[in-house]
Structure 1
Amino acid sequence: MKIGFIGCGNMATAMIKGILDSGKVTAEQMIASAKSDQTREKISSELGIAAAKTNVEVVDFADVVFLAVKPQYYEEVISEIKDDIQKNQVIVTIAPGKTLTWLSERLGSEVKIIRTMPNTPAMVKEGMMGMCKNELVTDEELQQVKEICESFGKAEVVPESLIDVVVGVSGSSPAYVFMFIEAMADAAVADGMPRAQAYKFAAQSVLGSAKMVLETGKHPGELKDMVCSPGGTTIEAVRVLEEKGMRSAVIEASKACVKKGREM
C-alpha cells in the first residue's frame, strides 16, 4: 500500500514517523507535499520519504491520501486534486467541521472518504483518533486505514455524529491537560520546588493517573475516592476544586470546543 500526505505540518510529521517506525509501510511507499521549500527539504532529509512538488503528484502516487492541511485550505486543495482522484483510492481527512457530505459534494460522489480526528500525542505514539467512513469505503479498507493509524496511538470507529465530540474529548483536550500540568507545576514552584522538577512530578502524576483509568477499568470517581482519606490533604484539595468550579469549567470548555468544530 502506498500512502501520501498533502501537507506536512506537526500532526502529519508525527503520523508519518509513527507509520514508518511501525514497519507497515516503507519510506519508498510514502510521499508528502508541502508549500515551502524548507518543509519539502524536511520531508526528504528528516523523514526520508519522497517530497512532492505538487498535491496532484501525491494523488497520482498514493493508494491512501491524507489531507493534512488546515481546514481553511480544504477548498483550495480539493479543487486542485479532485479531477485526478481514482475510484480505488481512499481519501482520509483530519480536519474538524468538514463532514462527509461536505467532502463528497466537493471531491465527487464516487470518492471513498474516511473522516478522522487525531490528536498531538501522536508525536509520542500515544494518540487517540476517532474515525468514520462514507458508504463507498469497504469495511476491509476502513480496517486497513485504522491499522495504519494505530501506528501512532489508538483509533476507534465512531458514528459521524460523534466526530465533533471526539474533537472536544481528545482532539483539543491535550491543551486542557497541558494547562492543568502547568498550573500544578506553578503551585509547586510557588511552594519552593524547582520548575523542571515540578513539571516532571506533575506530568508523571497525570500519566500514571491516566494509565490507572485505562488499565484498572475502574470508574474515575472510584479512583478519586481511593486517594481521598477522611479529613486528609486530598479531600481538602478536591473541596477547593469543586468550590472553584473545576468540573463545570472543563465541561463548558469542551462543549464550546465541540460547538466551534461544528461551525467550521
Structure 2
Amino acid sequence: MIEGTLGFIGTGTITEAIITGIFAVPDRAADILVSPRNAEVAAKLAARYPSVRIAGSNQEIVDAADMLFLAVRPQIAEEVIRALRFRPGQRVVSLIAAVHDAKLTEWIDQKVEIVRAVPLPFVADRTGVTMIYPPEPRAASFFAGLGTAVECETQNEYDLLAAASALMGTYFGLLERTTEWLTSQGISEQKSRNYLAPLFASLGRTSVISQDRSPGDLRREFSTKGGLNEQLFREFEQGGGTEALTAALTSVLLRIKT
C-alpha cells in the first residue's frame, strides 16, 4: 500500500524503474513528484502517468514528500543534498550507491529517518529484489510490492549483498563468452541466445523455488556423477575460475567499505 506523496530527487534509470513498477498494478493511484533535472525522463513519466508531476525545484519535492527518495549520482550527491532543508522525522530513502549513513546525516543536517536501499532495474516489472538497511517496515513493505525486499540487520550484511549484486555484469559476461564460443563453433548468435537465455532463466527460477536446498546441493543434483556438468565445473574450478570469482568479490567489498 502506498500512502502519502512520494518524492524523487533524481530522475534517472532507477527512478523510472520504480515508478514504472508502482503503476504496473492496474488502477494504482499514487501521488508522485519528480525532479526536473532529467527533463526527458521526467516528461515521459508525467505523460505516461497522470498522477506523476514534475516539481519546480528539489526543495518543492522535499517539502511535499511523505517518503523522499534520493536518487542522484554519488558525484553530485553532497552538493544537491546540502542545498535542501529537510523536516525533522522525515522518512528519507537513499538510493545513492556507496554513500554511508554518516555522510548522509552530515549533509542532511536534520534528525530524519534514513533508510538505504539498492533497488535493481527489475523493479519495473515487479520482479526486483531490493536490499534495505536498517530494517524499516514501511520501506520494506514498499519494495516488497515491487518484488522482494531483503532487510539487512547490520552494515556488514548490507555491504556484502552490495558486493554480490556486482555479479550482474559477470552473469551476462558468462552468457556473452558462451555465445561467442558457440558462434565460433558454427552456431548462429541468435540460435545460441535462443537456447542459453531460457536455460539461465530456468536455473534462476529453480534456485528461487528451492530454498530448502543449498546451491551446492543443486549443483550436485544437476550434475550427473561422471557427467558433462560435473566435468565442466571441475575444470572451471581447477582452472582458477572460482578462486578468481571470490577474489573479485573481496576486491569489490573492499571498495564498498572504503
TM-score (norm 2): 0.89
Q: 1:184 aligns with which of 174, 178, 182?
A: 178
Residue aligning to 2:157: 162
Residue deviations 1:31-61 (CA, integer Å, cap 9, x gap)? 1114143233223224441112311121122
Q: 1:64 to 1:23 in 2, by over 3 A?
A: farther
Q: Distance in 2 between matches of 1:24 and 1:111?
A: 32
Q: Distance in 1 between matches of 2:33 and 2:28?
A: 11
Residue aligning to 1:126: 127
SS at match of 2:87: coil
Residue aligning to 1:30: 32
Q: Say whether the 8 Å CA contact 1:32–1:52 is kept in structure 2.
A: yes
Residue aligning to 2:9: 6
Shift of 1:163: 1.6
Aligned-partner residue type, residue 219 of structure 1: S
Residue aligning to 1:76: 79
Within the alignment, does 1:101 sit opposite 2:102 as a pair? yes
Q: Say whether the 8 Å CA contact 1:19–1:148 is kept in structure 2.
A: no
Aligned-partner residue type, residue 26 of structure 1: A
What do you get for the CA RMSD once the two structures are aligned? 2.1
Residue deviations 1:72-122 (CA, integer Å, cap 9, x gap)? 1210111121x2x21242110012321212211221241111111222333
Aligned-partner residue type, residue 186 of structure 1: E
Q: Distance in 2 between matches of 1:24 and 1:245?
A: 52
Residue deviations 1:164-200 (CA, integer Å, cap 9, x gap)? 2121112x22112111121222222223322123223
Q: Distance in 2 between matches of 1:112 and 1:98?
A: 16
Aligned-partner residue type, residue 205 of structure 1: L
Within the alignment, does 1:233 sit opposite 2:228 as a pair? yes
Q: Percent identity of the aligned residues?
A: 22
TM-score (norm 1): 0.87
Q: 1:58 aligns with which of 45, 58, 61?
A: 61
Please list every run of 5 or more consecutive structure 2 residues that lacks an aligned counterpart in the other structure. none
Q: Say whether the 8 Å CA contact 2:89–2:111 is kept in structure 1.
A: no
Aligned-partner residue type, residue 54 of structure 2: A
Q: Alignment length, in residue pairs?
A: 252
111-120 vs 61-70, greater mean Cα deviation: 111-120
Q: Say whether the 8 Å CA contact 1:19–1:149 is kept in structure 2.
A: no
Shift of 1:126: 2.4
Q: Distance in 1 between matches of 2:118 and 2:194?
A: 28
Residue aligning to 1:39: 41
Q: Distance in 1 between matches of 2:129 and 2:257?
A: 20
SS at match of 1:110: coil
